[in-house]
Amino acid sequence: MSTKEKKISRIAISTGGGDAPGLNAVIRAVTLSGLKRGWDVYGIQDGFRGILLPEQYVEGGMVKLTFDKVRGITHLGGTMLGTSNRNNPMRYPIELPDGSIEEVDRTDEIVRNLRLHHIDALISVGGDGSLSISDALSKKGLRVIHVPKTIDNDLDKTDATFGFDTAVGFATESVDRLHSTAASHGRVMVVEVMGRYAGWIALHAGVAGSADVILIPEIPYDINKVAEKIKDRDRMGRHYTIVIVAEGAKPAGGKVTIREHKIGKDERLGGIGEQVASEIRSITEKETRVVVLGHLLRGGTPTSLDRLRALRFGAAAVRALDDGQDGVMVALDPPRVKYVPITEAIGQMKYVPVDSDTVLTARDLGISFADAKKA
C-alpha cells in the first residue's frame, strides 16, 4: 500500500517563511482537530529545519502537540514552532570546504525522515515559497495539504490570507497617529510598509487611514506628481501630507529598491521610503520625515478576523485529510472555505487590480497614486 493510501494516524505541521499573525491559531486548530480524530499530531520546528537535522536529532526537531501544548495560543503572534525564510529545502544553503555556498535540494530527505517517523501526512503552512515546497513534496509521494499564509495578501486562488488584516490594522493606526504630528509641524510624512511586489497593505491602510498619496508597485509613480499633490494641498491651506509607500513601489520606468540580496534569487526589498522622501525634500523644500513600519506589521496579536481565518483554515486542512484529499491548498472563497490543487495555485501572484473598486474609491476620495490620472 502506498503512503498516500494508508489510513492516517499521525500527522505533522510545519510553519515556513516569514511569520504572520494567526500561525498559532492554525497550529491549535490542526492539533485539536487531529486529536479529535484520534491522530497523533507533531509540529516540525523552524520551518523544515527540524526534520532535516541529522537522523539522531530529528526527534528533537519535532514536538508532539497535545491539548496542553496548544492551550491559550490563539491570540498570540508569531509561531510556537519557529520558522525560517532562509532555509528553503529546495535550495538549502550548504557551506563548502572553500567557504563558498552551494544550494542543494533536500526535499527527498524530508520525505524519507517523515516516513521514518511514521508521519502519514503533512500540513504545511506558508506563503509562495512554501507552496512550491508543498508541491515538490506532494510530487514525491507525500500526502500534503497546504495552508496559505502571508501578511502581503499576494497569494493567488484565495480571496485572502490570515495575517493581512492584522498588518493593515496596524498600518492604518500608524497612519492615523501620523496625521496629528504631520499637521502640527506642517510636514510631509512618508510611511513605508511591507508587501513585497504587491501593494495590498499600502492600498488598504492608505484608504482606511486617509493618506493623501498611495504608491504601489502596480501603479508606477511619477515623483513630480507626488510633489504636485503636496503643493496643491499647501495652496489649499493644508500644510501637511501623508504619503504611504509600498516597499515594492517603483517610479515609472524605474526599478524596485533592494535592501539586500539574499542567497539565491531572493531579494530583500526596502529603502523606497527614504528615496521618495529625499526627492520630495529636494523638489518641494518641505520638511519630510520617514517612518518604516517593517516587521512591526508582522508582530502582535492577530485581529479576530485573522484568528477566525486561521482557525477555519487549520480545521479545514484536517477535514481535507480526513476526506482523503491530497495535494490541495485551503482557500477562502467567501463565504466558503474551499480547496484548490496546489499545482493551480503555484507560480502566480495576486496583484492589486488597477481598476479595482478600492483603487477607484481612493481616486474618488482625492487620494493620488502619482500617476497620469487626475486624483
The three three-digit cell numbers of residue 223, written as one number: 515623483
The three three-digit cell numbers of residue 314, written as one number: 487549520
Q: 62 vs 272, which CB is nearer to ligand F6P? A: 272
Please state the closest distance from residue 340 (CB atom) to ligand F6P, in A: 20
Q: Are 143 and 31 in contact (CB under 8 A)?
A: no
Please state the closest distance from residue 171 (CB atom) to ligand F6P, in A: 11
Q: Are 240 and 185 in contact (CB under 8 A)?
A: yes
Compute, in degrees rounded to 10, the torsion defined by CA atoms 275, 280, 281, 285: 170
Please state the closest distance from residue 18 (CB atom) to ligand F6P, in A: 4
**Parallel/antiparallel/unpaired status of strands 328-333 and 144-148:** parallel
Q: 257 vs 284, which CB is nearer to ligand F6P? A: 257
Please state the closest distance from residue 260 (CB atom) to ligand F6P, in A: 9
The three three-digit cell numbers of residue 307, written as one number: 484568528
Active-site residue set:
152
Please state the closest distance from residue 196 (CB atom) to ligand F6P, in A: 5
Q: What are phi and psi of 149, to 5 degrees?
A: -145, 130
Q: How far is CA 218 from the centre of its chain?
A: 18
Cα atoms found within 13 Å of the Cα of residue 304, Cβ hemisphere only: 0
Q: 298 vs 350, which CB is nearer to ligand F6P? A: 298
- Output the residue with the shortest Cβ distance to ligand F6P: 194
* Residues at the site binding ligand F6P, with contacts judged by CB under 6 A: 18, 85, 127, 150-152, 194-196, 247, 268-269, 298
Q: What are phi and psi of 84, to 5 degrees?
A: -155, 140
Q: Is 367 helix (H, G, I), strand (E, B) or coil?
A: coil
Q: How far apart are CA 219 and CA 141, in angstroms?
A: 42
Q: 21 vs 314, which CB is nearer to ligand F6P? A: 21
Q: 156 vs 212, which CB is nearer to ligand F6P? A: 156
Tell me which residue has cell 507525500. 142
